[in-house]
């Protein structure tokens, strides 16, 4: 098969193709199970395999994909024909940033392949979680498991060949109940990074039991709590909400294709312009954010992207100043050309497709915030006169260019004179992205940092669902509007 792919790539090069690549998925498996109030509501599994072929001809892309590999030659010819037709109406010729040819392999850390575990064991796990969540005050309870395993072989016309074996595990617990006025409130727990690998071994009962008890207890506190005051307070964001803040107002805002206007129809643009790089004070001096695909054991680490670029650790915001973006080979060249200056030196290695039959686009890797020197959560609380601790995403809305946001959280704890006082319900906060990040006043140390997994980031048309992570510490933002 590899030899055949090489031969076809050579054939298209002979026909004038400037670049050809192939992603061959020998297999991709997915399994999803959901238990709701003691009933196994969903069990879905899928297995697929196939190839996706990109051809660059006279500045235009052509693409074809199929799970039927009986006539590879026809598939390559189709991709080439598509490029030839597209080349007749190209407005901005595609160029690819330089890269080195590599031969390499990557395997995500996994001790027990979740697809080797019996369905009985998986259902038994969900049942145990469901029973654990079945406590006083809980009206609805769900627990779910989501597994992905895929092998991807990438071969291109520039001499690169990479092979990846990626295993992903995700799990969530959720409880909801009603307060005395009938308002519904929920609390969730999501599996995040723990230990050195994350196969089925991540489903450690003690760990899940502890968190099941905690979310039930916290939800019951919310049910009895008063409303979040309409106020201005220092907001202390826990990793369970800061990950979303980072995702929506740093991650998506800094995808280079979005900055160039390519995602307008679906999930909005970005307020960031090419002129802002090297200049914009995106946040306070305490903010250093990065796109780090080298973070071990996270779904945003995948070895090599779908342009064949090795995983990188790129600083996006350096002590508050915007300096980098989430990039692939094509957009880097286009941005430099449109800006008429050299903003980006090379691809950031963030071009990814969700499956063999989709084309790669710029996707978040792990978008992280560096831990700071402001101590533990206790230290941050002690140093806060009038604040609120917020955790758990409940709802979110974002301005069409990600310039403003409004988030509701599952729980809030008021802080008065350095001490936690009351739990509040219906907690919300809002702000303007740049102003908000510039109000970042305290950043917790390593002990406050958690890697939160995201298994459902959507982007592109047709939609592509992608997996990634966010390593974020506890952060305090000053004088934030809450409760509105
Ligand atoms: Zn997303």
Q: Give per-residue pLDDT as tens, 112-139.
A: 999 999 999 999 999 999 999 999 999 9
| Per-residue model confidence as pLDDT tens digits over 366-384 | 999 999 999 999 999 999 9
Q: How far is the CA of 247 from the centre of ligand 1 (A)?
A: 6
How far is 366 from 76, CA to CA, in rounded Å? Answer: 33
Using an 8 Å Cβ cutoff, are 175 and 162 in contact? no
| pLDDT recorded at residue 289 | 98
pLDDT of 249 reads 97
**Contacts for 257-264 with beta carbons within 8 Å, 24 or more apart?**
257/328, 257/331, 257/361, 257/362, 258/362, 259/325, 259/335, 260/331, 260/334, 260/335, 260/338, 263/459, 263/460
Please calculate the CA angle 244-373-320 and round it to the nearest 5 degrees. Answer: 55
pLDDT of amino acid 196: 81
CA of 333 to the centre of ligand 1 (A): 24
What is the Å distance from ligand 1's center to 465 Cα?
A: 9
Low-confidence ranges of the chain (pLDDT < 70): 266-267
The two beta strands, 226-227 and 419-425, are: parallel
pLDDT of residue 193: 85
Distance 459 CA to ligand 1 centre (A): 7
pLDDT score for 264: 80
Domain boundaries, the chain: 2-224, 227-482
Q: Which two tokens stand for residue 311?
A: 């995983």
CA of 352 to the centre of ligand 1 (A): 14
How far away, in angstroms, is 456 Cα from ligand 1 center?
Answer: 7
Distance 188 CA to ligand 1 centre (A): 19
Distance, in Å, from the CA atom of 436 to the CA atom of 404, rounded to the nearest integer, reads 9
Identify the residue whose tokens are 């510490």: 473
- Best CA proximity match to 139, nearest among 185, 190, 188: 185
In angstroms, the Cα distances linking 99 to 160, 329, 331 are 10, 8, 14
Beta bridge mates, 190: 172
Please report the pLDDT score of residue 209 as a whole number.
96
Q: What is the pTM of this model?
A: 0.97
Give the model's pLDDT for residue 406. Answer: 97
For domain 2-224, give its CATH number from 3.40.640.10, 3.30.2290.10, 3.40.50.1260, 3.50.50.60. Answer: 3.30.2290.10
CA 364 – ligand 1 centroid, Å? 8
């Amino acid at each position: 098969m590899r030899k055949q792919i090489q031969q076809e790539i050579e054939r298209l090069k002979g026909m004038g193709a400037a670049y050809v690549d192939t992603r061959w998925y020998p297999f991709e498996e997915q399994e999803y199970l959901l238990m709701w109030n003691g009933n196994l509501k969903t069990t879905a599994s899928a297995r697929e395999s196939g190839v996706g072929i990109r051809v660059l001809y006279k500045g235009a892309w052509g693409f074809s994909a199929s799970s039927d590999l009986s006539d590879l030659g026809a598939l390559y010819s189709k991709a080439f024909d598509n490029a030839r037709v597209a080349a007749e109406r190209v407005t901005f010729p595609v160029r690819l940033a330089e890269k080195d040819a590599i031969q390499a392999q990557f395997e995500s850390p996994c001790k027990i392949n979740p697809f080797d575990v019996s369905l009985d064991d998986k259902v038994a796990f969900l049942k145990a979680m469901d029973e654990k969540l079945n406590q006083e005050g809980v009206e609805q309870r769900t627990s779910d498991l989501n597994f992905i395993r895929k092998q991807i072989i990438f071969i291109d016309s520039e001499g690169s060949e990479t092979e990846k074996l990626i295993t992903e595990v995700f799990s969530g617990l959720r409880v909801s109940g009603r307060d005395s006025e009938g308002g519904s409130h929920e609390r969730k727990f999501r599996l995040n990074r723990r230990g050195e690998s994350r196969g089925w071994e991540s489903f450690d009962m003690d760990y899940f039991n502890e968190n099941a008890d905690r979310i039930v207890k916290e939800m019951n506190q919310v049910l009895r709590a008063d409303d979040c005051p309409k106020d201005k307070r220092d907001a202390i964001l826990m990793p369970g909400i800061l990950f979303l803040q980072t995702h929506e107002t740093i991650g998506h805002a800094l995808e280079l294709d979005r900055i160039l206007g390519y995602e307008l129809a679906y999930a909005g643009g970005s307020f960031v312009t090419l002129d802002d790089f090297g200049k914009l004070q995106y946040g306070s001096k305490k903010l250093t954010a990065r796109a780090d695909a080298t973070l071990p054991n996270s779904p945003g680490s995948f070895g090599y992207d779908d342009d064949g670029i090795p995983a990188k650790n790129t600083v996006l915001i350096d002590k508050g100043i915007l300096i980098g973006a989430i990039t692939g080979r094509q957009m880097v060249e286009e941005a430099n050309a449109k800006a008429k200056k050299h903003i980006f030196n090379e691809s950031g290695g963030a071009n990814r497709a969700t499956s063999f039959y989709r084309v790669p686009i710029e996707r978040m890797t792990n978008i992280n915030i560096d831990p700071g020197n402001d101590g533990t959560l206790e230290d941050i609380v002690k140093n806060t006169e009038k604040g609120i601790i917020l955790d758990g995403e409940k709802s979110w809305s974002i301005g069409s260019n990600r310039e403003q946001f409004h988030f509701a959280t599952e729980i809030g704890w008021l802080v008065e004179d350095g001490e936690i006082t009351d739990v509040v319900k219906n907690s919300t906060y809002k702000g303007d992205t740049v102003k908000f990040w510039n109000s970042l006043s305290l950043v917790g140390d390593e002990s406050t940092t958690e890697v939160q997994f995201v298994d459902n980031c959507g982007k592109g048309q047709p939609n592509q669902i992608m997996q990634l992570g966010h390593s974020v510490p506890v952060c305090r933002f000053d004088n934030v509007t809450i409760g509105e």
